[in-house]
A and B are shown apart, each in its own frame.
Chain A
Amino acid sequence: EAGVVQSPRYKIIEKKQPVAFWCNPISGHNTLYWYRQNLGQGPELLIRYENEEAVDDSQLPKDRFSAERLKGVDSTLKIQPAELGDSAVYLCASSLEQVYNEQFFGPGTRLTVL
Chain B
Amino acid sequence: AQSVTQPDIHITVSEGASLELRCNYSYGATPYLFWYVQSPGQGLQLLLKYFSGDTLVQGIKGFEAEFKRSQSSFNLRKPSVHWSDAAEYFCAVGSSGTYKYIFGTGTRLKVLA
Contacts and interface: CB of A to CB of B under 8 A. Distances in A.
A56 B103 contact: no
Contacts of A100: 32, 49, 51, 94, 99
B41 A107 contact: yes
A44 interface: yes
A72 interface: no
A91 interface: yes
A87 interface: no
Interface string B22-66: 000000000010001000011111100101000000000000000
Contacts of B98: 56
A31 B98 CA distance: 12
Contacts of A4: 43
Contact of A42 (B41, B43, B51, B105): B105
B103 A43 contact: yes
A interface, over-half SS: loop
A91 B99 contact: no
Interface in A33-48: 33, 40-45, 48
Interface residues of B, number: 24
A44 B103 contact: yes
B44 A43 contact: yes
B45 A105 contact: yes
A25 interface: no
Interface string B83-103: 000000010101001111101
A103 interface: yes
B92 to A, nearest CB: 7
A106 B43 contact: yes
14 contacts: A3-B43, A40-B9, A41-B106, A42-B105, A43-B103, A48-B100, A100-B94, A102-B46, A103-B46, A105-B43, A105-B44, A106-B43, A107-B41, A107-B42
Interface of A: 3-4, 31, 33, 40-45, 48, 56, 91, 93, 95, 99-100, 102-108
